[in-house]
Amino acid sequence: MPTVSRLLRHIACALNVAMITTGAAAGEAWRPAPDAGFQVQFDGEAIDLSIDAAVYDLDLFETDPALIAALHARGRRVLCYLSVGTREDWRPDAWRFPAAAVGRAYPEWPGESWLDIRRLDDIGPVLLARLDLARDKGCDGIEPDNLDGYETDSGFPLTGTDTVRFVRWLAAAARARGLSFGLKNSPDLLGDLLPDIDWVLIEDCHVQGWCDAIAPARAAGLAVFQVEYTDSDLDWPEACAAAQKRGFVLILKNRALDAFRRTCP
């Protein structure tokens, strides 16, 4: 006959599984306010803590937990960036991705290669460990990058359906750890993934002409963080007017993602 302690452990385990399966844990994830100020910085000698933004987007591996704690002390929230669709060979855990799951090089970024996101048995443990790291560092959410392998020559026959399945798995894993989860770019996947995300981050949508495709996210009450870049042929007043009409939070950044940030008037 099982002891009381063993029964209690069994019940606790069952409850944890049920929370993940039913999405109960997902309801605990933080969601940024639709008008929250936004800052992203991955480059520069030091993160500029003086920026008046409610949400900071910082690199998961390069950001010290003490800096996250300092931002929390100032009332800020922190999203932590990680590439989920590519292997970046400079990351400390890059060696953990099996060679069979690593595809063609990402031409714009030396040292980066596409991953076969269908092979969760191979890449899943690495990504789950990264989510654990984000939780342990105190990140409030994650910014998952490079979800568009199905649109390029990745070396694998990836489809949009593969990506939706992958993102749902990743979002559930993030929320089970109390981490907010957003969709980055990939406007054609928004309709399928709207119930699975807590916010949206988009880049270059104004100069490329696809901002309206993200309007359903804002209509659903989600924050939409829009980033345009200084190296684009951009009419800034026009971009601001369009973003404000849509209810998007727009910032202008250098492509290097240093501390520079310009906001709309």
As a whole number, mean pLDDT of residues 195-199 equals: 97
User: Cα dihedral sign for 137, 142, 146, 147?
Assistant: positive
What's residue 45's pLDDT? 75
What's residue 126's pLDDT? 98
**Domain of residue 237, CATH code:** 3.20.20.70
Q: In what order do the strands lie in the sheet with 102-105?
A: 86-88, 112-115, 102-105
The string of pLDDT tens digits covering residues 120-158 is 999 999 999 999 999 999 999 999 999 999 999 999 999
Same domain, 74 and 20: no
The string of pLDDT tens digits covering residues 10-50 is 333 333 333 333 333 334 689 999 999 999 999 877 999 99
Same domain, 112 and 24: no
Same domain, 185 and 91: yes
CA angle 149, 155, 156 (to 5 degrees): 70
The string of pLDDT tens digits covering residues 248-259 is 999 999 999 999
- Among 169, 189, 192, 191, smallest CA distance to 181 is for 169
The string of pLDDT tens digits covering residues 218-245 is 999 999 999 999 999 999 999 999 999 9
Cα-flanking dihedrals φ and ψ of residue 255, to 5°? -60, -25
Same domain, 68 and 12: no
Number of domains present in the structure of the chain: 2
Portion of the chain with pLDDT greater than 90, in percent: 87
More confident residue, 60 or 2: 60
Same domain, 61 and 3: no
What's residue 28's pLDDT? 66
Same domain, 61 and 181: yes
Average pLDDT for the chain: 90
Phi-psi category of residue 74: left, alpha or beta, with phi > 0 → left and psi -120 to 50 → alpha: alpha
Same domain, 35 and 22: no
Same domain, 52 and 147: yes
Domain that holds residue 2: 1-30
Same domain, 171 and 194: yes
Q: Is residue 117 scored above 70 in pLDDT?
A: yes
What's residue 1's pLDDT? 35
Same domain, 7 and 57: no
Same domain, 77 and 175: yes
From first CA to last CA, the distance across the chain in angstroms is 70
What's residue 26's pLDDT? 39
Q: What is the pTM of this model?
A: 0.88
Same domain, 202 and 244: yes
